[in-house]
Amino acid sequence: MYDKQALIALVREKALKFGQFTLASGRKATYYLDGKQVTLDAAGAKLVAEGLLDLLAANGMPDAVGGMSIGADPITAAVITMSAVRGTPLLGFMVRKESKGHGTNRYVEGPVQPGQTAVIVEDVVTTGGSSLQAIERAEAFGLKITGVLAIIDRMEGGSQAFTQHGYKFDSLLSIRDFGIEPPPV
């Protein structure tokens, strides 16, 4: 069972940094959330997987979960592993930033097939740009994307971007869970 308070404590301890940062979106920020410090930690991976599986179960289980490499890879691995433990196995997939240039030369890797339903997973959502790119590539492959799930929502427009494109969005945490108020969007 998902323990929200334990995840908040772990993020606060390992992933939340204060200072001057440039985010993947290009925006400047006074705090940074390094999701990999949580998703590559055994306790963090378990907490994240349990929480995301609870969200998936509440909204209807897809066939698969995945997202943009490298950030989504440990999340995908944790979720598909915990789904097997729970007896509700899911497939996983990775979306490459660039195609390999050899082999199958695909953007989407994994045991998924066109026509299957999938949810994009992400560690931290700011504007939603990387998840929208992952959605575009996954849909071009033939997956039916039903939504986006994140560990933390920075509340800087990502949720609205997903809604505008017709995708459901949910997150385990938001920056408000850390006493941070979002800037006006």
pLDDT digit string, tens, across residues 75-85: 999 999 999 99
What angle separates helix 73-86 from helix 42-59, to the nearest 10 degrees? 70
**178 DSSP assignment:** G
pLDDT in tens, 123-173: 999 999 999 999 999 999 999 999 999 999 999 999 999 999 999 999 999
Dump strand ranges (E) for the chain. Answer: 16-22, 28-33, 64-68, 91-95, 108-109, 117-125, 144-153, 168-174
In a domain, 170, yes or no: yes
Does the residue 55 lie in any domain?
Answer: yes
User: 92 lies in a domain?
Assistant: yes
**Between 185 and 51, whose confidence is greater?**
51
* Residue 63 located in a structural domain: yes
The CATH number given to whatever domain includes residue 84 is 3.40.50.2020
What residues make up the domain containing 32?
Answer: 4-178
Report the distance separating Cα 160 and Cα 58, nearest Å. Answer: 21
**Whole-structure pTM value:** 0.94
- Note the Cα 84 to chain centre separation in Å: 19
Please give the tally of structural domains in the chain.
1
Any domain includes 44 = yes
In a domain, 184, yes or no: no
